[in-house]
Amino acid sequence: MFKATVICDCPPRKKKNSNSSTVKISLLLFPAIFRIMASRLQIEGDESVLLRVTHSNMKTFSPEIRFSLQTTVEAMKEKLWKKCGTSVNSMSLELYDETGAKISVLSDNARPLGFYSPLDGFRLHVIDLDPLSVTSGGWLEDTSLVEKYTISDEAYGKLGGTFRKFKETMPLKKPPGQESKISDNYMEDLCANIKIGDRCEVEPGERRGTVKFVGQAETLAPGFWVGVQFDEPAGKHDGMVKGKRYFDCPPLHGAMVRPDKVEIGDYPEKDPFEDEEI
């Protein structure tokens, strides 16, 4: 018996990819399928959704409001009416996704919000259908449209009980005999043992320094003062107070204090490293 072998030079036939069209359709439907699945998961796990609310008549109105997915459209309108002023009967609601595409119009007041498959971050747009609404024409945002009360300066001056009248009746100076309750020799006795050049410690803060001035200060309150040059920049000035120089010292090293805040004694400069561990 003879075996016959047939050799064919024809190119092999390519198998038709029957799944290519199916894959393309699946890719096109994936966003919608994903949104439905996510919505179902959200209803099961979290019974509410956070929506950004905008309004047709108010540009600055853009709060984020959380709604229950079981809430009816009519109940949503009741909630929005209290926040934006548009009446329920004049309100139309539209739902947009994150890309700005309109998803649906919430036209059935009896349906729950979850029917429209909203997700966190979607936008709920309120349209006010009433041309005479309080929100129309920018009345709730543009304050220039509101009529303001005005009064001439002459008429205001004739009114009583105004702040202007209060300022006019205030005494420019204290009554005679009450210019000061502090005597000129206030704390003079405490300065008896304080001399220029003494080392001292000043409260509060245990600030150490050197006495540079003892006496009355014409630019300060009556009584006696002690001028101190601190070892560190713990003061307020360089020895000049209100244009009057009482002593010289580096900036922020000087202070004028009452004698009862000054303790004279052997107070050497503090060692900045004395508190460090060895």
Say if 163 falls within a structural domain: no
In a domain, 180, yes or no: no
Using CA atoms, how far apart are residues 101 and 122, in angstroms rounded to an integer? 10
**Overall number of domains in the chain:** 2
For the cut 60, the answer to whether the pLDDT of residue 143 exceeds it is: yes
Answer yes or no: is 247 within a domain. yes
| Judgement on whether residues 119 and 36 belong to the same structural domain of the protein | yes
Q: Does some domain include residue 253?
A: yes
Asked if the structure places residue 226 within a domain, the reply is yes
Give per-residue pLDDT as tens, 177-232: 555 588 999 999 999 999 999 999 999 989 999 999 999 999 999 999 999 999 99
Q: What's the domain range around 117?
A: 24-137
Would residue 119 count as lying in a domain? yes
- CATH number at 229 reads 2.30.30.190
Same domain, 129 and 208: no
Residue 75 has φ and ψ, to the nearest 5°, of -65, -35
- Mean pLDDT confidence for 78-90: 90
E strands, 42-198, are 48-55, 64-68, 91-96, 102-105, 123-128
Please tell me the pTM assigned to this model.
0.38
